[in-house]
Structure 1
Amino acid sequence: MRFALVTALSIALGACAALPGDGPAAINISAQDIEGDATVSGYSLISINSSNIEAIKRYRPLAFANEFKGVGNGGSSTLLGVGDTLMVGIWEAAPDGLFSSGEAGYSQIPAVIDESGHIFIPYAGRVRASGLSVEGLRQSIQNKLIGKAVEPQVLVTLQEKLSKTAVVVGDVAKPGVYPLPLRNTRLLDLVASAGGSREATYETVVTLKRGRRSGTTRLEHLIDYPENNVLIAPNDNVLLSHRPRTFSAFGAVKSNQLVPFRTKSVTLAEALATVGGLNDFRADAGGIFLFRYEDADLVRELRPQAADRVNGASTVPVVYRLNLRDPSGFFTARFFEMRDKDILYVSNHPTAELGKFLQIIAPLISNVSTVQGITD
């Protein structure tokens, strides 16, 4: 019987690595070979501590700005184009001239540049407007009226520059097509013209599509990081979408769940508190992990030795580790901010795995003891 008991225990111990669980143990995530070689593990492991938390806090997510750097001049061309709306004023030196009749003593003629690029002015006929500046069109009209009007003076005013527009759609108060003024127009200017977002800025993402280029960022990042407030170019398409932020909590926490952000910012300490903190009977306080895709520039700064492995990538998988066995870890957790779609995982303590193992083999030991007692 003793032999049977030893055999049963050996089989159970051999299967210990296959015990039921809700995730990897801390040793599986932070093994020496994984920490030393991201190409083997597929991710980089970075410990959150007082030496690097400042670098993490001051990092500025500018991937959106870099996508559109140097692309687009920010406003309309000064040259007129098809669809532009004009007002042409004509004065004459004589009170009985072609355009000076009436109380005003001059005539105002509204005009829209047609698909062929021309406008029509009485007695001047069809005048080429597309491709000219406002001043160039003024001189062209005035020259065509010489000999027909008495010392004509012409003023051309641009009413709406509909030849250069951008489109704003989605969760905005007033979606539509917006003409771009001659001055530089930035993304926030355009969003403001459309009435702004219908939802909270920290729950709204903005997508800018320019030709084959496309970029997405949080609306609040246009304010927090002014570099992201890029210049708008003609024919840009802007989409605002309501996209509430969430993070997922797994492992040895009191409540495994998908958690929405209730405020603009949520720290790692607040995230742990939201899910009820660590499970006293299972959690490894030294094995708190956060999984996310991190900007490659930040990874290069935090782990210079991994620079050659992240070259050419914009984002790379990173696992941050927090050790709450060290009291300073609680202070560090106050400054580490969560992001959308983060995964928070608390690993089981090794003794919790031992407890599972004992629960599994307890019936087997009991049965063997019963059989031995009957035999004796």
Structure 2
Amino acid sequence: MKPLTSRWASPVAALAILGIVAGCGLPQLGPNKRQIFSGSVQREGDAFVVAVNDRVTRATAVVPALGFSSGFVNAAQLTSDTIRPGDVLGLTIWENVQDGLLAGQTGNSTVLEEVQVDSAGFIFVPYAGRVRAAGNTPNQLRELITSRLDDQTPDPQVEVRRVAGDGSTVSLVGAVGGQGVYPIERPTRTLSAMLAKAGGVTIEPEIAQITVIRGGHRGKVWFQDLYDNPALDIALRAGDRILVEEDTRSFTALGAMSQQARVPFESQNLSALEAIAQVGGLVATSSDPTGVFVFRNEPAEIANQVLGRTDLQGAQRLIYVLNLKEPNGLFLARDFVIRDDDTLYVTEAPYAQWTKTISLVLGAITPVADVQTLTGG
């Protein structure tokens, strides 16, 4: 057999390399569209592959349900006059006699400074005994003490004033300007006012979440909802614990995009289009706009709506397909809501695979050409 001439050496080498490439496969960022569709339930796989349309976007538009229970919302504001355990009061008692029960020989009034309300809500007044103070206003307490002393001294006159108090406080921690314990005062009876007192939130307001813990109950709202919905600006109670933290939701971006990473949400409601933009968008030379996939474990009630079924139970694996080249593709991507733990995956364009093939072929042919040049073939 005669050896191949130089004229046919390069084409034969190219064909040989193409054969090897076809047999071994090219490097990939991940599965291509054909491989993803091959894993669908329709092809005996374990995931439902669903093309996104208007009905699907409506069925899957689920966002975190945050809010306060009726116990939080319906609680009335504390008045500045209400006495609470821990408050410190000052009492002045006048007696209509020269030598009264409490007054000395030089006057007919007695001053009791810094009478602290105990943990049970009571104070002790000489000759009146233990008197319930917590839950009463200073005027109501004055009437109680007067009625107790009325049987022992003629026409007593009582004054009750607030000296200080540490019973009506709340604690603020997390992403606020000043963490600490703050008293509930006249200007800071509501949640938003107390946050302002603490220096406001120090993270992006759009992703700030506020948790209020009251005894064994807790509620959580978005920071912006305090201003969009005044009913959520709840009245505070002594002992409330307020936590300000950043939204912890995130999605994973993979495939032919500008960035591959686990990405935190930057807004309360994140669409597929916004998620793509958040990681830098598609890459013109490698991304396939017809192959945008969202992988998700969908609750059975939503999966049944999406698939038009009623028999599915438990979480289901769903793969949503977005084709940005369709006439309404960008609108659908704008309306499709990304949820926590979603995986956003973009396949490589066929052109990118072809480019890889050409690069491998040319890289292999170049040494042959160099040999021919050196030998003068």
Same fold (TM over 0.5): yes
Determine if contact 2:77/2:236 at 8 Å carries over to the other structure. no
CA 266–118 in structure 1, closer or farther in 2 if over 3 Å, else same: closer
SS of equivalent residue, structure 1 residue 309: coil
Structure 2: distance between partners of 1:161 and 1:291: 55
Query: Which residue number in structure 2 is paired with residue 129 of structure 1?
Result: 132
SS of equivalent residue, structure 2 residue 202: coil
Structure 2: distance between partners of 1:175 and 1:35: 55
Structure 2: distance between partners of 1:359 and 1:219: 53
Determine if contact 1:65/1:227 at 8 Å carries over to the other structure. no
Structure 1: distance between partners of 2:307 and 2:164: 53
Query: What do the CA deviations read for 1:111-161 (whole angstroms, capped 9, x no partner)?
Result: 32135654243x436524366645774454223322444312446566766
Over the aligned positions, Cα root-mean-square deviation in angstroms equals: 5.6
- Given the alignment, which residue of 159, 171, 175 partners 1:167? 171
SS of equivalent residue, structure 2 residue 55: coil
Query: Which residue number in structure 1 is paired with residue 31 of structure 2?
Result: 24
Determine if contact 2:170/2:237 at 8 Å carries over to the other structure. yes
Q: How does 1:221-370 map to 2 (within 5 A)?
A: 221-224=225-228, 234-241=238-245, 249-254=253-258, 256=260, 268-273=272-277, 277-290=281-294, 302=306, 305=309, 309-310=313-314, 320-336=320-336, 343-350=343-350, 352-353=352-353, 356=356
Is the counterpart of residue 201 in structure 1 residue 205 in structure 2?
yes
Give the letter aligned to residue 220 of structure 1.
Answer: Q
Report the Cα offset of residue 193 of structure 1. 4.3
Query: Which residue number in structure 2 is paired with residue 374 of structure 1?
Result: none
Report the Cα offset of residue 208 of structure 1. 3.8
Is the counterpart of residue 33 in structure 1 residue 40 in structure 2?
yes
Structure 2: distance between partners of 1:264 and 1:133: 43
Give the letter aligned to residue 127 of structure 1.
Answer: R
Query: What do the CA deviations read for 1:64-102 (whole angstroms, capped 9, x no partner)?
Result: 337x56579746899965313345464556799767999
Structure 2: distance between partners of 1:86 and 1:292: 60
Is the counterpart of residue 65 in structure 1 residue 67 in structure 2?
yes
CA 72–219 in structure 1, closer or farther in 2 if over 3 Å, else same: closer
Query: Which residue number in structure 1 is paired with residue 147 of structure 2?
Result: 143
CA 159–335 in structure 1, closer or farther in 2 if over 3 Å, else same: farther
CA 332–202 in structure 1, closer or farther in 2 if over 3 Å, else same: same
Moved more, 123-132 or 89-98: 89-98
Give the length in aligned residue pairs.
358
Structure 1: distance between partners of 2:265 and 2:87: 46
Structure 1: distance between partners of 2:113 and 2:214: 36
Moved more, 142-151 or 210-219: 210-219
SS of equivalent residue, structure 2 residue 321: strand
Structure 2: distance between partners of 1:300 and 1:27: 25
SS of equivalent residue, structure 1 residue 168: strand
Determine if contact 2:131/2:145 at 8 Å carries over to the other structure. no
Query: Which residue number in structure 1 is paired with residue 55 of structure 2?
Result: 51
Q: TM (normalized to structure 1)?
A: 0.64
Report the Cα offset of residue 342 of structure 1. 6.2
Report the Cα offset of residue 195 of structure 1. 3.7
Structure 1: distance between partners of 2:106 and 2:322: 83
Structure 1: distance between partners of 2:202 and 2:147: 51
Percent of pairs with identical residues:
29
SS of equivalent residue, structure 1 residue 51: helix
CA 30–214 in structure 1, closer or farther in 2 if over 3 Å, else same: farther
Moved more, 291-300 or 125-134: 291-300
Query: Which residue number in structure 2 is paired with residue 372 of structure 1?
Result: none
Determine if contact 1:82/1:116 at 8 Å carries over to the other structure. yes
Structure 2: distance between partners of 1:101 and 1:326: 99
Structure 2: distance between partners of 1:289 and 1:226: 39
